[in-house]
Structure formats: C-alpha cells, structure tokens
Amino acid sequence: MQRQAIEIKGLQKLYAGAKGEPDKQALKGIDLSIPEGSIFGLLGPNGAGKSTMINILAGLVNKSSGQVTIWGFDQDINPRQSRAAIGVMPQEINMDPFFTPRALLDLQAGLYGVPKAERWTDEILELVGLSDKAESYARQLSGGMKRRLLLAKALVHRPKILVLDEPTAGVDIGLRNMLWKNVRRLNDEGMTIILTTHYLEEAQEMCDEIAIINHGEMIIRDRTENLLARMDAKTLVITPAGNAPDVTLPDGVNLTRRPNGQLAFDYRPKQVSANAILTAVHNAGIEVEDVGTTEPDLEDVFMSLTEE
C-alpha cells in the first residue's frame, strides 16, 4: 500500500465574522490523502478554500478542528517536525529588497535550523538559474527572477513535500518551462509536489491526481485521466470539399456549421459511434476533404463540476 505524504481528516476552519456579520466557514470537513512521490493538483475557484488549506499545512493558520498529518507527523503532536517536512512557494512575492539571494537563502536556512555544513545554497541557486545573481540585491531582480527566488527559499531545508501556490502566475513561457523542468526533476528525486494553479492545462499535463474543492468542500478527487474520462463528449470536425447539404443525423448528435465552412458534430461516444456520423455524412452526399476530432480537457471538467 502506497504511503501517504499528507493525510487530512475532518479539516474545518471557521473565521469569525466582523461585528454584526456571520462567521465564515472556509473549510467544511475536508478529508484528503496525498500519496508520497506524486504530483498532486489542488484546484478550485477563487475563495474555494485552497489558500486556507495550504496555510494550515504550512503552520501559518490554525485549524478550527480536524487532524493534519504531514510525513507521518501529527501537526498537533509534532508541530516542528511536520513544518520541517513541508516547503511552500507562496503566490505573493514577499522578500527583503536589500538582501542578496545568497543572503536570503542563508537566512531562511538559519530560520529552519539548518547547520552551515548542511546548507546547499549554491546548488539551489544553480537549480533555479540564479547563480549569476547570487550577490545582486533582491530589488534588482526581475519579477520572474523573484519567483525563482521564492522557489529557492522553499527548498533550503530539503523538504519532503513542496507546495507550489500559483507558481507561474504572470511569468513568461521560458520561466514557466524552466520551473516545470525543475519540478519534474525534484519529483523524480522523490519529492512530493502539491500544485495549485488557474492554468488548468498545466495541471492536466503535470498532475498524477487532482482534487477539486469549492465553497470549502471537496467536490471530487481522482486520477487526472479518470477526470477527463468523466466527460463523455467528443466533437467530430469535418471539412467538406464543397457545399454541404443537410444531414440526417443519429439521435444525440448536434451539428454546428462553423463560419469557415467546417461541420462540427458534438456527440457522446458511449451513445453514438463516430462511424455512424461519417456514414450519415456519406449518405448526404458530402465529399470529405479533412476530418478530425477534439476531446474535452480539464477546463471542461472543472467548469462542469464547479458550476454544478
């Protein structure tokens, strides 16, 4: 049985309301386990409770009730060990502008109690591509470089679990590719990765499993391929060689005539086969120049579940 890097049981968080206003329950009894060595996606709309959960894991916010176990350490019984097992790359850029990257990493390592002989500052700077900026002031770094430095700070104590909170928000493609290359390398070396992102194509490509929360509740948790399979929908796109007359279609198939002349047939593979649609097109006397299919992506799944 696969070991769990994080186990959450009945996690609740209640924020006291302002005077005259009701309390707000940010998390409503979340149960979640995250396997060791996985890349796990934690998705949800703004205000769903993702940041609250991450801050509880990091020890920055106290939970109202429930149990949180990080790398086998109960957060209530062994708070220092549980915090040492996790590193968080926050969404907000927050660092002293008058420190150099090297000084910031040494300071962060000192806060975690990492002895000087065990620090790997130079290796981290090389990993995130900041070796040539090691002695520059943080205020002189570009926005993308500051994000790299946030990742570096999260790694100083060699955590078993790395949380990336919107790591590629507002960064260019080059930095994004560099980040994901490093994340995969860390994961290959055994680190468990937890990712929150609004770029759902990233989650679809990177994550082994995904959990979606909304209004403080768990909606679904499954492997990425299983979530995609939930959407029993495809679109068969045909480019006709000439004019396309009306087509008598099987039940359950919807035809959209696109402005560029293409015919888009929406259907459910469990109900109708693509071959039945092609047969109907042939019977209508339509000569086919090109044909292709499109399938739903994680964004379609996400919108379907959160709208429900």
Write out the DSSP string of 7-52. EEEEEEEEEPPPTTS--EEEEEEEEEEEETT-EEEEE--TTSSHHH
For 256-294, write each residue's pLDDT tens digit: 999 999 999 988 888 889 899 999 999 999 999 999 888
Tokens of residue 78, six digits: 């062994």
Question: Rounded to the nearest 5°, which phi and psi values hold at 299?
Answer: -60, -40
Closest by CA position to 306, among listed 200, 205, 186: 200
Start-end ranges of CATH 3.40.50.300 in the chain?
Answer: 4-228
Q: What's residue 296's pLDDT?
A: 73
CATH architecture of 231-307: 2-Layer Sandwich (3.30)
H runs (alpha helix) in 112-199: 121-127, 143-155, 173-188
Which CATH number does the domain 4-228 belong to among 3.30.420.40, 3.40.50.300, 3.60.20.10, 3.40.50.2300?
Answer: 3.40.50.300
Q: What's residue 207's pLDDT?
A: 93
Low-confidence ranges of the chain (pLDDT < 70): 1, 231-232, 308
Residue pair 210/27 in contact (Cβ under 8 Å)? The answer is no
Model pTM score: 0.79
CA distances from 235 to 33, 201, 231, 263, 286 (A): 35, 19, 12, 10, 18
Start-end ranges of CATH 3.30.70 in the chain?
Answer: 231-307
